[in-house]
Chain A
């Protein structure tokens, strides 16, 4: 196992390829959540308004205008309902996102705390060539900044490449890339992970059993993620994959670089999604123009929109299944893992152009799932995992970062409900997480330690 890992370059090469793909994948993803939901919300609202006979755009602000005229009153009612639906679903969706993020973090923290492998420094990724073993602080800082610049530029290049591929409809290429990535992730990383866990607990397992287990796990994973499968199983696989990726990052990124990278990525995310020329924004807009679901690949979706009992089932179902497949294919490129629910979603959105009224009626009544990019999962888990691994205050710091990230997620979802457009999910949470990590580690820890040693309670 050790020699296996030490064939750094040859093995790391494919790993790094994947890693970069994934990192490239990550920033685009957060927007999808909002992009998708925004476009749905937009559609739903548009249709509702049309049915209510008003000609207002999807704008929820005017709820309270009970002016004298009849029209605004009629309009405000559906709008209020809309907002209220949004918020009612809002709390539920926040929880639907809390649970997987929490699970992912728990898996990562549990692994970090128990398996020694992930905290040993066994080399670095090719994307962070500058080592941090230098004697002086200034040199170390410089190295970490350089590492960050390299990593971020790799991510930018990959993202732009992705956007170009998507724009020029090179779906097959994207497809192949993504399948390769998920293959590697599901098989190779799981093999390493399982090996390390077994080593830690001193459990013996023979190769045939191992092969069987990994083969089953990987095959079911591929099917579940790229094709069809029960929602919960797919969600579980997405969480596992995010956790594995986060563990890889935690192991292979040197300390200071990791923190600087986290900070830089949230800034990049902010810019890429909100600036008019940002690659992610272009991606979202292109996908919306083409009326296709945006990259089901790297998105975690919390709910499925089954069109249960649709008026005209057969023809409607067949039509979108073509689109589903196409969507799944675009999904591949973005790696992380296609969220199967999105392909289901595309089924429901498929009939939209042909039969707007009926399908959207169903759409409104069902739950609107919230989607969060897997990159977000990964970076949240990296933050918490690093806190667990390197903080000397141990659990206090980890807990503080965890709460900070959850609150950041809450705020982001709140902003999403207010703005209704693509929003980056990383910045707020990561900022909170970083602030809390550094302050808890340096300020709170001595305080709590002193209190605990005297057994004082505050």
Chain B
């Protein structure tokens, strides 16, 4: 579905593609830094201590989430500057792309990169022979991974919109809400073999974020009804 989003909404406009790739790049850099920190922490600690390792992993995940949001903020700053540049250069004084579209595209960029990194090795292995969950792990590993990745990509998209909106209107509580949601989703993935604990809250959060983002982007229940009834 995320790829479909990309095809239908982004592939047409070259500027959006550039913003998308740049968003993916920023996510990548944040991942790099967070894994650097994690790596250092692991090397500095005792590899045999299971609980410590798990604790470090959790720390790594949280830190990574915080870094991702920080980079989203940095990207927002960059895009603001870019918009000013585009406005100054355009003929009629308004930029060819609005900040909301940029927010959307940036969110998709983050999401795609995050999803790709989470999923792609899995997909490559899935092409080969083997049985899922032969060692007593869940049999639904692939399916749940796929769903989780999808929900994460969508969430990144919505968070992008919410985050940028919060930055635009200086509503810090929106930004904080995004960060908290991200932490919650990542945290919920900790109880992962117990899929109910992670998938269900994530989907609910996604629905909530979707509705919020939709309202923020100017939609309303009326628009929705009109769209659905094809008026």
User: Which A residues are within 8 Å of any B CB, using their own CB?
Assistant: 63-64, 80-81, 83-84, 87-88, 91-92, 94-95, 98, 393-396, 399-400, 403-404, 406-407, 410, 436, 439-440, 442-444, 446-448, 450-452, 454-458
Contacts and interface: CB of A to CB of B under 8 A. Distances in A.
B25 A458 contact: no
A98 B113 CA distance: 17
B35 A395 contact: no
B124 interface: yes
A394 B145 contact: no
Q: Chain A at the B interface: mostly helix, strand, loop or mixed?
A: helix
Interface of B: 14-15, 17-18, 21-22, 24-25, 28, 31-32, 34-36, 38-39, 42, 57, 60-61, 64-65, 68, 86, 88-91, 96, 113-114, 116-118, 120-122, 124, 141, 144-145, 148-149, 152, 185-186, 189-190, 192-193
B114 A456 contact: no
B89 A87 contact: yes
Given A91-B18, A95-B14, 7 more contacts: A63-B89, A64-B88, A91-B15, A394-B124, A396-B117, A455-B144, A457-B118
A456 B54 CA distance: 11
Nearest to A95: B14
Contacts, number: 113
A261 B39 CA distance: 29
A10 B183 CA distance: 62
A410 B121 CA distance: 27
Contacts of A448: 35, 117-118, 121
B116 to A, nearest CB: 6
A98 B24 CA distance: 15
Contacts of B114: 458
A454 B148 contact: no
Contacts of A457: 118, 148-149, 152, 185-186, 189
Contacts of A394: 121, 124
For B89, B145, B190, the residue with the greatest tally of chain A CB atoms inside 10 Å of its CB is B89
A443 B36 CA distance: 6
B221 to A, nearest CB: 32
Contacts of A451: 57, 61, 118
A94 B14 contact: yes
Given A396-B120, A396-B121, A410 B32 contact: no
Contacts of A98: 17, 21
